Amino acid sequence: MRKRHLTYPISSRQSMAAVEEEKPIRFSSLFWNYFQFWPIILLSTLIGGVGSFLYLRYTSPKYSSAMKVLIRDETSSGQISEATVFEDLGLISRSGNIENEMEVLQSVNLMRNVVSNLGLQHRYIHIGSIRDVDVYGEAPFRIAGWQPADSLLNPWPDLIVSIRDTTGYAILFGGNRYKGRFGESCRLPVGTIRLMRRSGASIAAFGDDYRVIMRSTDAAAATLSAGLTVKSIGKRSTVLEVSLTDEVQERARDVLNELARVYDQSNLGEKNKIYVNTIVFIDERLEKLTAELSEVESEVERRKSGHSVFDLSLEAPLLREESRDYARSVSDAEIQLDIIRNIRSFLDKDPEHFDFIPSNVGINNLTLTGMLEQFNRLLLDRQKASSLLGSSNPQLTSMDDQLATLRTNIKRNMDGLERDLSSTRNILTSKGQALQNKLKGLPGHERALIEVQRQQSIKQNLYLYLLQKREEAELSRTVSVSNNKVVEPARPLGQVAPVRRNIWALGFGGGFMFPVLLISLLQALNTRVRNLDDIRRHTQVPLLGLINYDEGEKPVAVTGDSRTVISEMFRLIRANLQFIGSRQRIKTILVTSSVSGEGKSFVSLNLAITLALAGKRVLLLELDMRNPRIHRTLKLGRDADKGITRFLSDDQIDWHDLLRKSEVEQGLDIITCGLIPPNPSELLIGDRIEQLFREAAEFYDYIVVDSAPVGLVSDALLLNRLADTTLFVVRKDVTRLAHLEIIEEAASLDKLPRPHIVMNAVRRSFLGYGEGYLYGYGNYQAGEGRSGFKRLWKRLRGGRA
């Protein structure tokens, strides 16, 4: 082993800082620190993999389907406007129409119609041996009727239905079995249910069980709406992508297709409501005009059949023609007045309620026609907002105020128009009356006939006009299309959960990382020495050697014929002692530790035996006068007359008389402690101890001193003047990291001579990987048995293994 020269800093704190700066992280040591627990890590990883396998096997997969819907904008021609540029820059927000339609598509009200149309209120799940399967559209039966015993029952119960044969079944509920027949009602404690066998469904095997999850239409609609996702595919685009995730791919596809159909019908129905109201209004007027026109025609027929018509002079036809022109103008005015009065009657029918106003009825005033169309558009927007935002939203109140104001303006405009038309009609009537005065010379019967024919013409023209407008409204309602279009029908996107790759990665990764994190946490909380890196980081005192862990804990680990790992390690320490002192012979070896229980006496005894096996004369002094153990280890007994305390306290005693021969090795002599003195520190200060060391050094090659722990008492420090080198025993998983600072302080302040560390209780795996101290001990006699998981757990906790 190469000799190490150290220059100790002035203070312990400076020494520690220097050590921290000089010692980088050793990744190889870090790797082997975790590798020693590889059985636990491997087992946890396998458990994580098994967990992933079981999860994938017993978890029902979920699938996704998507469709694309185009939302048309009635106010746009489809061209990109200048506002689009500012919209991309974020200066102008996009119209709220797209956001509104997205909310409408996700509304529970719309989904309720889908659930009702497809019959999705209840779910039928086949109970399998491995996992349960949702049999959408394939269940051999369906719920034809359900009447709960309590109308407030919420949620509805889940039932287990067992198919007995093609005609009967049994329901398991509340631990009881209720038998029933298909098509007949079965009474349960919570209500009455009636099951029907599906037409064309064949039961392959009797005894199959099905779980029936019963839900109300609202609950089923809320569940489906929650799984619905609507998003726009771009900033400028008005195309929405609607997707749904479900355990059954066919059900997700059917729901989306039906949702598109219901959404289209809802939009089209709101749009056609204006035309329907117009048709109803015209039908009411046609019915009245038909009766009036019938009376006028009857009067014409009666007068023509009862009276003859005479030839008039040339002036009469001209007067009649002019009279007809005035009558035609009066008829037009009467038509406009009649339409205005009927629209006013329509508006005054229900002042507290807003309804669509017939707008396409032939009013010649463009201002009034524009106001009517604006009122209908605003009312349509209000109905859409009501279904989306709810009836109590402040925005609806604002729209109601706008509608009321607009209706007032319409009435005010109609009042002015009616006054103008009445004035025009009166003027035309007076002029027509003047012409009539000119025709006074005509026969009275012919004049009366003309009056009746004029009324007939007015009624007939009004009738034909309204009939034309009704056909136009009916045609508009028939050919009207929705503002929305399904660009791409629902298509399956495949399985979206669980993602097998992620589950496998989570299982194996979690199984691997859990023990690693647990080991890191426990070792981070551990304050004991675990490896050589701990020693290097906390002290600059050189390492003299390693002592293997002896599972049998034999006190004497070294004999003449032993070839175990631990015996070879003591021989290596003996060899390394030759390189201590820079050519100065090492004779007195002081063995100490920080606290009791670190193997100080074990190292002292076996080191002395190792030196004696080399043919050296060795004296082992048991100077741990507070807790002596060597005499108990060698079973020498505590002889008060042959103890070092007797020599130190009595000047008449010769230390030669205290020598006790070792039965382990002939070249080893031992002086035990004897009686435990009350003042060991005072005895070690005296001259007698110096005399003992001086005289023994002349007779023995080595003196091994087993002293008290330096971290507890000062006995070892009092022997500083007598020792040539000091061996600090550090026990793996026993010595605390804080105690290494005691060793560093003793070395930096020169409290003990030539300090070196001996690491005790090191396992063979620690020696064989990456440290470079000892190799190949597997061919020696077994010094360490196989370690099980109990030993691994103890090692993981940082305790003794």
What would the pLDDT profile of 455-479 be if each residue is shown by its tens digit?
A: 778 878 888 888 888 777 777 667 6
**CB atoms inside a 10 Å sphere around CB 45:** 20
Q: Name the one residue in this structure whose structure tokens are 């609950």.
A: 219
In this prediction, residue 800 has a pLDDT band, given cuts at 50, 70 and 90, of very low
Whole-number pLDDT of residue 603? 93
Q: Which residues pair with 173 in a beta bridge?
A: 176
pLDDT tens, residue by residue, 558-578: 888 888 888 889 999 998 888
Residue type, 713: V
Cβ 744 vs Cβ 538: under 8 Å: yes
> Which tokens is 599 given?
């193997």
Q: Distance between CA atoms of 397 and 360, rounded to whole angstroms? A: 28
> Would you say residue 267 has pLDDT above 80?
no
Whole-number pLDDT of residue 784? 41
Q: What percent of the chain has pLDDT over 70?
A: 79
E strands of 447-520, at which residues?
A: 484-497
Cβ 399 vs Cβ 378: under 8 Å: yes
Q: Distance between CA atoms of 514 and 499, rounded to whole angstroms? A: 22
Average pLDDT, the chain: 78
Whole-number pLDDT of residue 730? 94
**CA-to-CA separations, 361 to 283, 589, 682, in angstroms, rounded:** 12, 123, 128
pLDDT tens, residue by residue, 93-141: 444 478 888 888 888 889 999 999 998 989 998 888 778 888 888 888 8
> Which tokens is 132 given?
């349960």
Up-side HSE of residue 709: CA atoms within 13 Å toward CB? 19
> Would you say residue 683 has pLDDT above 60?
yes
In this prediction, residue 436 has a pLDDT band, given cuts at 50, 70 and 90, of low
How confident is the model over 12-27, as a mean pLDDT?
Answer: 47
| pTM for the structure as a whole | 0.53
Up-side HSE of residue 158: CA atoms within 13 Å toward CB? 7
β-pairing, 588-593 vs 702-706, is: parallel
Q: Distance between CA atoms of 356 and 269, rounded to whole angstroms? A: 13
Whole-number pLDDT of residue 98? 83
β-pairing, 702-706 vs 239-246, is: unpaired
Collect all residues with Cβ–Cβ distance below 8 Å to 372 and sequence separation of at least 6.
Answer: 343, 357, 358, 359, 363, 410
In this prediction, residue 258 has a pLDDT band, given cuts at 50, 70 and 90, of very high
Structure-model confidence comparison of residues 782 and 492, the more confident one: 492
Residue type, 247: E
Cβ 733 vs Cβ 530: under 8 Å: yes
In this prediction, residue 82 has a pLDDT band, given cuts at 50, 70 and 90, of very low
Q: Give the alpha-carbon dihedral of 142, 147, 148, 154, to 10 degrees.
A: 60
pLDDT tens, residue by residue, 630-676: 888 887 876 666 788 888 888 888 888 888 888 778 889 999 888 88
Whole-number pLDDT of residue 618? 94
> Would you say residue 244 has pLDDT above 60?
yes
> Which tokens is 253 given?
């596809």
- Closest among 378, 367, 379, 375 to 407, alpha carbons compared: 375
> Which tokens is 38 given?
């590889």
> Which tokens is 762 given?
């090191």
Structure-model confidence comparison of residues 159 and 665, the more confident one: 159
In this prediction, residue 764 has a pLDDT band, given cuts at 50, 70 and 90, of low
> Would you say residue 766 has pLDDT above 60?
no
Q: Which residues pair with 159 in a beta bridge?
A: 212
> Which tokens is 368 given?
């009034």
Q: Name the one residue in this structure whose structure tokens are 């082993």.
A: 1
Whole-number pLDDT of residue 725? 93
Query: Of 238-247, 342-351, 725-734, which gets the smallest average pLDDT?
Result: 342-351
**CA-to-CA separations, 283 to 288, 353, 423, 467, 800, in angstroms, rounded:** 9, 22, 29, 9, 102
> Would you say residue 776 has pLDDT above 60?
no
Structure-model confidence comparison of residues 268 and 617, the more confident one: 617
Whole-number pLDDT of residue 525? 82
Q: Give the alpha-carbon dihedral of 398, 402, 403, 409, to 10 degrees.
A: 160
Q: Which residues pair with 495 in a beta bridge?
A: 63
pLDDT tens, residue by residue, 162-214: 887 878 889 998 889 899 998 899 999 999 999 988 876 665 556 688 999 98
Whole-number pLDDT of residue 206? 61
Whole-number pLDDT of residue 553? 61
C-alpha torsion sign, points 110, 116, 122, 124: negative
Q: What percent of the chain has pLDDT over 90?
A: 17
Q: Which ranges of 60-119 does DSSP label H, i.e. alpha helix?
A: 82-88, 96-105, 108-118
How confident is the model over 58-63, as a mean pLDDT?
Answer: 84
Sheet strands side by side (includes 239-246): 228-232, 239-246, 62-71, 484-497
pLDDT tens, residue by residue, 514-530: 999 998 888 778 788 88
> Which tokens is 271 given?
């749009």
Whole-number pLDDT of residue 572? 92
pLDDT tens, residue by residue, 718-735: 888 899 999 999 998 888
> Would you say residue 782 has pLDDT above 50?
no
On the 0-12 / 13-18 / 19+ scale of CB atoms within 10 A, 240 is: buried
> Would you say residue 759 has pLDDT above 50?
yes
How confident is the model over 253-258, as a mean pLDDT?
Answer: 92
Would you report the helix, strand and coil content of the chain in percent, each value rounded to 5? 50, 15, 30
Collect all residues with Cβ–Cβ distance below 8 Å to 242 and sequence separation of at least 6.
Answer: 66, 67, 68, 69, 105, 228, 229, 230, 256, 259, 260
Whole-number pLDDT of residue 801? 41
> Would you say residue 774 has pLDDT above 70?
no
Whole-number pLDDT of residue 771? 40
Q: Distance between CA atoms of 176 and 162, rounded to whole angstroms? A: 13
Q: Give the alpha-carbon dihedral of 512, 516, 521, 522, to 10 degrees.
A: 110
Collect all residues with Cβ–Cβ distance below 8 Å to 641 and sequence separation of at least 6.
Answer: 674
> Would you say residue 512 has pLDDT above 80?
yes
β-pairing, 725-731 vs 660-661, is: unpaired
> Would you say residue 249 has pLDDT above 70?
yes
Collect all residues with Cβ–Cβ distance below 8 Å to 610 and sequence separation of at least 6.
Answer: 558, 567, 570, 571, 573, 574
Burial pattern 291-312, b for ≥16 Cβ within 10 A else e, equals eebeebbebeeebeeeeeeeeb
In this prediction, residue 432 has a pLDDT band, given cuts at 50, 70 and 90, of confident
How confident is the model over 534-563, as a mean pLDDT?
Answer: 83
Structure-model confidence comparison of residues 763 and 26, the more confident one: 763
Whole-number pLDDT of residue 558? 87
Residue type, 698: E
Query: Of 379-383, 678-682, 726-730, which gets the smallest average pLDDT?
Result: 379-383
